[in-house]
Structure 1
Amino acid sequence: MSGRDASIETIQRELTAFARRARHKASQLHPELSLVSYSMLDLMHERGGCRAADLAAHFMLDKSTVSRQVGALEKLGVIVREVDPDDHRGQILRPSEAGLKLLNEAYQMRRQSFLERFTGWDDDDLAGFARYLVRYGEAD
């Protein structure tokens, strides 16, 4: 296996492990919410609210999947629906006060985990890693 192929294998393995750890951490914070649910809630907060169709497009999911996730979030009381001021037929989804509290707890937990994980990294390594992650994400 060439050096490039070996590197790609390592990256694939490590990103898969990263995703598994993220799912596990999400289940620790709230056993009824998946990583996808947290991600949707986070996007709603980041955008100041959004429509279900926006969630489907952003996460590349079909509308029925988003509908189930939104229903679960609503049942748990972590989102609210508001009439879309631009189109009164549509609805804007936003985190409720409980949802904002949950997001803050998740943020604090993630931040602490990252602080611990990067304790031995110098500033240049950390900045380089951040640049590489941005570059990787921009490929989409």
Structure 2
Amino acid sequence: MSGRDESIEIIQRELTAFARRARHKASQLHPGLSLVTYSILDLMYERGGCRAADLAAYFMLDKSTVSRQVGSLEKLGLLSREVDPEDHRGQILRPSEQGLALLRHAYEMRRESFTERFTEWGDEDVARLAGYLVRYGAAD
């Protein structure tokens, strides 16, 4: 196996482990929350609200999957719906007050965790990793 192929194997393994840890941490935030529902809630906050079709496109999910996840967030009291002012037939989905509180708590937990993990890293290394992650994500 070439050095590049070996590096790609390591990247795949590490990103898979990262995703598994993220799923576990999402379930610790709220017993009814999966990584998908947490990610949906987080994107709604980041965008100041969005439509279900926007969520489906962003996460590359079927509309039926998004509908189930949105329904789950609504049942948990973490989501509110508003009439879309640009298209009165549609709805804008936003985190509820309870959803916002959960996101604030999650943000603090993540920030503490990352700060702790990067204690031994220099500022340049942290900046380089951030740039690489942005570059990797931009490929989609």
Q: Same fold (TM over 0.5)?
A: yes
Gaps of 5+ in 2: none
- TM-score where L is the length of structure 1: 0.98
Q: Which residue of 1 aligns with 2:93?
A: 93
What number of residue pairs does the alignment pair up? 140
Give the secondary-structure state (helix, strand or coil) at the position aligned to 1:32.
coil
1:37-48 to 2 correspondence within 5 Å? 37-48=37-48
* Partner Cα separation in structure 2 for residue 61 and residue 12 of structure 1: 22
Q: Which residue of 2 aligns with 1:77?
A: 77
Gaps of 5+ in 1: none
* Partner Cα separation in structure 2 for residue 138 and residue 81 of structure 1: 30
Give the secondary-structure state (helix, strand or coil) at the position aligned to 2:88.
strand
Q: Which residue of 2 aligns with 1:21?
A: 21
Following superposition, the deviation at residue 31 of structure 1 comes to 1.4
* Partner Cα separation in structure 2 for residue 48 and residue 11 of structure 1: 33
Give the secondary-structure state (helix, strand or coil) at the position aligned to 1:120.
coil
* Partner Cα separation in structure 1 for residue 19 and residue 73 of structure 2: 21
Partner amino acid, structure 2, of 1:16? T
TM-align CA RMSD: 0.6
**Match status 1:133 vs 2:126:** no
* Partner Cα separation in structure 2 for residue 119 and residue 31 of structure 1: 30
Stretches (4+) displaced over 2 A:
none
Query: Residue deviations 1:79-137, cap 9 Å, x none?
Result: 11100000111111011100000000111111111011101001111111111111111
- TM-score where L is the length of structure 2: 0.98
**Match status 1:4 vs 2:24:** no
Percent of aligned positions that are identical: 81
* Partner Cα separation in structure 2 for residue 21 and residue 83 of structure 1: 36
